[in-house]
Amino acid sequence: MTESTQPQYLYLNRDGNWSDFQCQGLTRCADGSLELIPLPQLNGTVPQSIQSAGAPAGPSGIAVAYDGTVYFSDSACNTIREISGCDETVCALPCLGGEKGKPGRFDAPRGLLWAKNRQALFVSDGGNHRVQIFDPRSGQLLGIIGNPDPGSTPTPSSAPGKLNTPWSLAADAEGSVYVLDYGNARVQKWNAVGDLVSTFWENVEASHCLSEPVDVCAAEVSGAIRVFIVQGSTPQVFVFDAYGNSIAGADGKPLSIGAGKLQSPMGVAANGTDLYIGDNNARRIFQFSLGAAPAFVGEARGYEGPVAALCLDPKGNLWVHAGTADAPLQLLAGKAYAAKGFLWTKQPIRTERPKVEWQRLQAEIRRLPQNAHLDFLVYTADSAADGPKAQAGSDDPLTDAKWRQTPLPPSTDLDDLYVGGCPATYLWVAAQFSGDGTGTPVLAQIRVEFDRDGYVDYLPAIYRNETCSPRASALGKGNSARAGTTSASGNQNDFLLRFLALFESLYSDVEGEIRGFPALFDARATPKAFLAWLAEWLGLELDESWNDAKQREILAEIFRLYGQRGTTAYLREVLKLFGGVDAVIEEPIMQAAWWALPSTGTASCCDDCAGGAGSTPTWQGAQNSLLGFTTMLAPAQPQGAVVGTTAVLDQSHLITVDEFGLPLFSDVAYQFSVLLYRGQVMCPEILPKIRALLDQEKPAHTLCQLCIVEPRMRVGYQSRIGIDAVVGGPSRSLSLGSEQTLGEDTVLAGPVATRLGQSRLGLSTRLG
C-alpha cells in the first residue's frame, strides 16, 4: 500500500507517563505501562478462632522493627508479644507487663509504634493513661508520655500533653509521634525531641471535621507529610498536613476518604500511594488509592475477619491484628489485583487538521492473563464540549451514555478496533480493566490512525459512497453518527470500510514487515539473527570470534569499502579492520622516475650562433637527474625493439604502436609491498591471517610482497645508502684551528668504540 508521507497516526502514551489521561484503580509500572493496582494477598489461611471472633471493642497494636521482628499487644493479658524475625517463634517480652500503675506495667495496652529514629518501642498504655517507651532488647524503660512522673499514680487528664485512655500511635518521616487520645476525643502531637506541639490539634479542631477519632496513621505522600485520622461516628477518614491543617478536596471541602463505603472502621495504615482501612462491619480490609481524587480500589484478598490494627512492614507487606490472642497475620504485597480500573482522556485528542477520519485504534497489550479483560471505548465529535464526561471517584466513572461500547459482547479483549464514522475534529478514548483479582492486563501503548489510505481506495469507484467516505472529510460533513455505528441513511461505505479493515488488520503485520525491510540492511538496526544473512549479501564471512558490536562495525564499514576495492586505501583499511594492523603500502611504480641528461641553459637563435664565441653551455635541472638517487635507468626502450638500433638478439621484443612506453614499466608494474612493523605481528596467528587477507583482497593480476620491518637497519628497506644512511669508517678526530664541529662531524681523540663483529666487549674494546 502507498501511504502519505505526513504522519497519519498518534501515539497516546507519550514519554511513558500517559500525561493526557486520567486513571482510576490503575498504577503505572517502571516501564510506563499500566496495570490494575496491586492488592495484598493473605499469606496462609485465617484461623478458625479469628473467623468466629466478633468485632473488637477497641484497637490493638502492631509494630515491625528493622530486623523483621513483629510486636503486637495482648490487651486481655496486659502484655506485649513478639514474633521473632529469625525463626518466627511467638513469645512475650520479658520484664514487661503485670501489676498496673508501675513503670513497665500495663493496663489494657493497645497501640504500638516502632520509632526508627530512636530504635525504640512505644506502647499505648490505655488503662494507665500514658505512653511508655522501651528498648525491647533489654526491657529498659526509656521514657513516658502523658504522665512523666514514674512515682505518681496515673490518672486521666484533659490538659495539653496529658492523656485519657490513649489508643493508637503513629509517626511521620520527621520522627514526630501522634497519639490518639480517645478519652479526650483528640489527637496530640509530640515532635522528634519530645516536645508537645499543641498547635496541631488546635488546627485540626478548627476544621470542625472530627467528633470521634478512633484511629490514626501518617505517611509521606508526594513528598509531603499526611496524617490520616479515622472518624468513627460518621465513618470516613480525614486528611491533614503535618501542622494539622485540613487538606482540601477537588470540591474545596476537607478531603475525606471512604465516606459511604466504610461502616465500622478500625485499623488504618498508609504508604505513599495507598491507604488501608479495616471495616468490622464488612470484616474486610479496604484499599483506597491516594492522590488528588482518592478512590476505592478493592479488598485485600484472602482475609475475612475482625480488624483491630493494621501495619505495613519495611517490605511493604501488610499485617493485620484481629484483636484476639492470635498472632497477627501477614498479607503479601502485590500478590493480588483490584477487580476494576479505568483510563480516560482528560482532554480530547485532535490533530493539526480541522477534520480527520478517525479510523483505527491499536493497543499494545503486554500481558492479558486468564480471567483478566481489557475493553476500549471511543467517541468522536466536532466540538470539545460535546464529548463524554467521566465521574472520577465513582465505582464506574464511564457511565456517560456517550461512551460507546464496541458492538461486541464485553470482555472480548480486542486490541485492534475500527473507529469509523464521519470525519470529526476530536476523539475521546477510554479503557476499562477488569479481572478476578488473580491477574491484571498490562497496557503499554495506544496508537490511533486517521486519514490513512485504506483498501477501499483500491476498489472500483462504484464501491465508494461519498456520503461519509475517506475523501469526504474535505466536504465538512456532520458526524451525527457516532464512531462505531452506522448512519441513519444506511451508509454502506461505513460497513465496507469496517469489512475491509478486517483484512487490513490481518495483513498489517505483513505490510509492516515489508515497510521495515530496509532496516534489515542497516548494520546498526538489523536483528542479531540477520547479521550473517546481511554479510552474505556483501560476500563477507563473519568470524565467530567477533562479538556483536564488532560484527556490526565491520558490516557498516564493508559496504563503503567495497566501492574502493583495488586501491591501496581499501587494502590498508581492510587490513586494519580485519587484521588489526596499521600497514604501510608502497607501489614502486609511483616512485618511478627515469634518468635523462639535463638540458643546457643557452638559447641560440640558430645553429650558426650556437657554436659561436661566448655561448658556453650551462647545465640546468641537474638536481632532478641524479642517477641512482632520484632516478633510475629504463629497463627497455619505450618503443620496443627497432631493427638496426635497439634490437639485440635474444634480448629484445617487438610491440605494437598502442603499446608504446609499456617496456619502461615492465619491472615495476602490477606489484606492491606491504610493510608491517614487527610489534604488530608478535602473535603467531596474526601473520597467517594477514597473508590470507592479502591473497583474498589484492587484485588478482598483481604481485604482493609482505615485508616485516624488524627493529634494525636493513639496507634497501629501512635505510637506503646515499639517501638516508651513510656507511663509512669512524668519525675524524677534532683538530684545533680547523673548521670542525664537535659532536656532528668529529669526535674527541681516544680509543675506538666497540664495533660489533670485530671486537670482544670487555677484552679488546669498550663502549664508546
Residue 483 has pLDDT above 70, yes or no: no
- Which pLDDT band holds residue 248 (cuts at 50, 70, 90)? very high
- Residues 363, 416 contacting (CB under 8 angstroms): yes
- pLDDT exceeds cutoff 50 at 553: yes
pLDDT digits (tens, 9 = 90+) for 637-692: 777 777 666 666 666 667 777 777 777 777 778 888 899 888 888 888 888 989 98
Q: Given pLDDT bands bounded at 50, 70 and 90, which one contains residue 460?
A: confident
The length of the chain is 768
Q: What is the mean pLDDT of residues 28-33?
A: 92
Q: Which residues have C-beta within 8 Å of that of residue 154, sequence separation ≥ 6?
A: 101, 125, 128, 129, 130, 146, 147
| Burial per residue of 623-647, b for 16 or more beta-carbon CB atoms within 10 angstroms, e otherwise | eebeeeeeebebebbebbbeeeeee
DSSP assigned state of 575: I
H helices within 600-727, ranges in order?
607-610, 686-697
| CA dist., res. 183 & res. 129, Å (int) | 9
> How many CB atoms within 10 Å of residue 320?
29
pLDDT digits (tens, 9 = 90+) for 195-217: 999 999 999 999 999 999 999 99
Q: Yes or no: say if 675 and 662 are a contact pair by the CB < 8 Å rule.
A: no
Question: DSSP per residue over 173-216, as a string?
Answer: TTS-EEEEEGGGTEEEEE-TTS-B-HHHHHHHHHTT--SSEEEE
* pTM attached to this predicted model: 0.62
pLDDT at 612 over 60: no
Q: Collapsing DSSP states into helix, strand and coil, what is residue 314?
A: coil
Q: Angle at Cα 435 formed by Cα 431 and Cα 437, nearest 5°?
A: 135
> Is pLDDT at 32 greater than 80 in this prediction?
yes
C-alpha cell of residue 443? 497496557
Report, as an integer, the average pLDDT of 292-312.
92
Q: Which three cell numbers stand for residue 190?
A: 509530640
Judged against a pLDDT cut of 50, whether residue 491 lies above it is answered with: no
Q: What is the mean pLDDT of residues 259-274?
A: 94
What percent of the chain is modeled with pLDDT above 70? 78
| H helical segments located in 611-651 | none
| pLDDT band, residue 578 (cuts 50/70/90) | confident
Higher pLDDT, residue 760 or 209: 209
Q: What is the mean pLDDT of residues 268-296?
A: 92
Q: What is the mean pLDDT of residues 181-187?
A: 96
The pLDDT score that the predictor gives to residue 521 is 80
pLDDT band, residue 482 (cuts 50/70/90): very low
- Tell me what pLDDT residue 211 has: 92
Cell numbers placing 280 = 468490622
Buried b (16+ CB within 10 A) or exposed e, 218-244: bbebeeebbbbbbbbeebbbbbbebeb
Span of 86-95, 288-297, 440-449, 717-726 with lowest mean pLDDT: 717-726
- The neighbouring-strand residues paired with 376 are 431
* DSSP characters over 218-256: EEEETTEEEEEEEETTTTEEEEE-TTSPBPB-TTSSBPE
- Residue 164 pLDDT more than 90? yes
Cα-based distances in Å from 555 to 347, 352, 470, 583: 47, 41, 44, 21
Top mean pLDDT of 145-159, 269-283, 655-669 is at: 269-283
- Work out the pLDDT band at 52, boundaries 50, 70, 90: very high
Per the DSSP assignment, residues forming a β-bridge with 367 are: 442
Domains of the chain plus CATH, in order, are 9-35+341-512 (no CATH), 38-337 (2.120.10.30), 526-562 (no CATH)
What Cα–Cα distance (Å) separates residue 163 from each residue in 86, 130, 356, 404, 740?
36, 6, 68, 58, 111
User: Do residues 384 and 426 touch, judged by C-beta distance below 8 A?
Assistant: yes
Residue 409 and residue 447 in contact, taking contact as beta carbons nearer than 8 Å: no
Q: Decide if pLDDT at 475 tops 50.
A: no
Range 395-410 average pLDDT:
74
Q: What is the distance, to the nearest Å, from the Cα of residue 640 to the centroid of all Cα atoms in its chain?
A: 74
pLDDT of 435 higher than 60:
yes
The predicted structure's pLDDT at residue 478: 32
